[in-house]
């Protein structure tokens, strides 16, 4: 039996879900639970390695698994302790293993396409301080038209699956669409393309098939795009950042269904019915509500 490291946890803890108010496609308010996203900065012998975005369920195992899989440490018996402190959102791993040259190794670090691993550091958020995005209005009919246009894309996903798609849009037109094995790769591709073309984002809508996490909100804000649309759900930190930065956040958008998490006043509900033109009477509306009762984000 190997000598296991000492796991030290402070008294602080983190929540894994929180409840928020959202608006559906009828303009009705409802409550949804969203997953909480917490930054956890990992230190190895007091050298900062990475900031992981996590639900925070088993942080010590997450940190050790990351360091092992990235090749930073090899011997579990050489690890003296793992200190988890949610007051400072940090995890410190102390090891007797030789970590000489760690800074050089970090300089060659490759950011993977993994969906749950974040690499955003404080300097990025510092650059976003004081950023104010425009607050354009968006009609429900335009949103439905855009969702219809998007159904004709995702070619790689339709053929092989296992990819995410992102798009820069204007009104109901898709200006550029890209697929990649990770949603962050896809959004970075579109950001680079806009940069090369000298395009600005104030009149654009960004679409992603992926979750609306903090990194996604940050990257869209860096592009200057004020409206973010996804067929997936949102995390707590993504939600909080959208409110802070003034991004209209629309999640669970597919067909004629959507949920507005932020920027409700910017959406004009001009459609009395679904995307096919069917007018929803009270009975149909009640049936719809019955279909979604008890659902969670």
CATH code for the domain of 145 = 3.40.140.10
Kindly state whether residues 224 and 247 are assigned to the same domain. yes
Cβ-proximal residues to 58 (8 Å cutoff; 6+ apart), any chain: none
Residue that the structure tokens 């053929």 belong to:
159
pLDDT above 70 for 287: no
Is 166 a residue of the active site?
Answer: no
Give me the phi and psi of 161, to 5 degrees please.
Answer: 70, -170
Please state, rounded to an integer, the average pLDDT across all residues of the chain. 83
Task: Tell me which long-range contacts 16-21 makes (C-beta under 8 A, separation of at least 24).
Answer: 16/55, 16/56, 16/57, 17/236, 18/236, 20/239, 20/261
Of the given ranges (98-102, 215-219, 231-235), which has the lowest mean pLDDT? 98-102
| 289 in any annotated domain | no
Contact 118, 39 (CB under 8 A): yes
pLDDT above 60 for 293: no
The last residue of one of the domains, among 105, 127, 149, is: 127
| 286 in any annotated domain | no
Look at 72 and 19; give whichever has higher pLDDT.
Answer: 19
Question: Mean pLDDT, to the nearest integer, of 245-258?
Answer: 95
Look at 19 and 131; give whichever has higher pLDDT.
Answer: 19
Q: Supply the pLDDT for residue 70.
A: 79
pLDDT above 50 for 297: no
User: In whole angstroms, what is the distance from residue 7 CA to residue 94 CA?
Assistant: 11
Question: Mean pLDDT, to the nearest integer, of 125-136?
Answer: 83
| 287 in any annotated domain | no
Q: Supply the pLDDT for residue 127.
A: 76
| 37 in any annotated domain | yes
Q: Supply the pLDDT for residue 122.
A: 54
Distances (CA, A) of 196 to 180, 219, 221: 19, 16, 17
Of 70, 66, 71, nearest in space to 82 by CA: 66
User: In whole angstroms, what is the distance from residue 221 CA to residue 227 CA?
Assistant: 9
Which pTM does this prediction carry?
0.77
Question: Mean pLDDT, to the nearest integer, of 22-46?
Answer: 92
Cβ count within 10 A of residue 85: 17
User: In whole angstroms, what is the distance from residue 287 CA to residue 294 CA?
Assistant: 14
CB-facing half-sphere around the CA of 196: CA atoms within 13 A: 6
Question: Mean pLDDT, to the nearest integer, of 49-72?
Answer: 86
Tell me what percent of the residues of the chain surpass a pLDDT of 90: 49
Quickly list H helices, 168-274.
183-197, 214-222, 236-245
Q: Supply the pLDDT for residue 162.
A: 65
The enclosing domain of 39 has a CATH number of 3.10.20.10
Of 35, 32, 36, nearest in space to 19 by CA: 32
Kindly state whether residues 111 and 153 are assigned to the same domain. no
pLDDT above 90 for 260: yes
| 294 in any annotated domain | no
Specify burial of residue 265 (Cβ count, 10 A radius: 0-12, 13-18, 19+).
exposed
Specify burial of residue 252 (Cβ count, 10 A radius: 0-12, 13-18, 19+).
buried
Provide the residue range defining the domain that includes 210: 138-268
Kindly state whether residues 162 and 188 are assigned to the same domain. yes
Cβ-proximal residues to 232 (8 Å cutoff; 6+ apart), any chain: 208, 209, 210, 211, 212, 251, 252
What one-character-per-residue DSSP string does 233-257 give? -BBHHHHHHHHHHT-EEEEEEETTE
CB-facing half-sphere around the CA of 35: CA atoms within 13 A: 17
Look at 80 and 104; give whichever has higher pLDDT.
Answer: 80
Catalytic entry in 36, 115, 166, 169:
115
Q: Supply the pLDDT for residue 246.
A: 95
Of 216, 227, 199, nearest in space to 136 by CA: 227
Angle at 99 between CA 95 and CA 102, to 5 degrees: 130
pLDDT above 70 for 57: yes
Q: Supply the pLDDT for residue 102.
A: 81
Tens digits of residue pLDDT in 137-176: 999 999 999 999 998 887 766 666 667 889 999 999 999 9
Question: Mean pLDDT, to the nearest integer, of 200-213?
Answer: 94
Kindly state whether residues 204 and 236 are assigned to the same domain. yes
Instruction: Give the chain's domain count.
Output: 2
Question: Mean pLDDT, to the nearest integer, of 213-219?
Answer: 89
User: In whole angstroms, what is the distance from residue 9 CA to residue 13 CA?
Assistant: 9
């Amino acid at each position: 039996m190997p000598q296991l490291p000492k796991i030290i946890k402070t008294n602080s803890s983190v929540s894994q879900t929180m409840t928020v108010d959202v608006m559906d496609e009828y303009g009705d308010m409802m409550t949804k639970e969203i997953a909480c996203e917490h930054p956890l900065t990992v230190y190895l012998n007091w050298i900062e390695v990475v900031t992981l975005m996590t639900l925070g369920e088993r942080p010590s195992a997450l940190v050790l698994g990351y360091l092992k899989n990235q090749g930073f440490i090899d011997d579990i018996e050489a690890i003296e302790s793992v200190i988890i402190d949610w007051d400072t959102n940090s995890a410190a791993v102390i090891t007797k293993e030789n970590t000489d040259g760690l800074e050089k190794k970090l300089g060659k670090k490759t950011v993977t396409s993994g969906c749950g691993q974040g690499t955003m550091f404080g300097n990025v958020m510092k650059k976003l301080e004081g950023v104010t995005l425009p607050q354009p209005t968006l009609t429900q009919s335009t949103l439905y038209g855009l969702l219809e246009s998007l159904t004709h894309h995702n070619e790689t996903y339709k053929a092989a699956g296992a990819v995410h798609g992102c798009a820069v849009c204007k009104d109901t037109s898709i200006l550029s669409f890209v697929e990649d094995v990770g949603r962050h790769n896809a959004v970075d591709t579109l950001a680079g393309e806009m940069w090369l073309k000298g395009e600005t984002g104030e009149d654009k809508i960004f679409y992603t098939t992926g979750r609306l996490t903090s990194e996604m909100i940050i990257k869209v804000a860096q592009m200057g795009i004020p409206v973010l649309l996804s067929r997936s759900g949102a995390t707590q930190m993504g939600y909080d950042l959208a409110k802070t930065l003034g991004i209209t956040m629309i999640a669970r958008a597919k067909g004629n269904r959507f949920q507005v998490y932020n920027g409700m006043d910017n959406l004009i509900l001009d459609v009395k019915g679904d995307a096919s033109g069917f007018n929803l009477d009270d009975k149909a509306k009640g049936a719809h509500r019955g279909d979604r009762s008890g659902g969670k984000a």
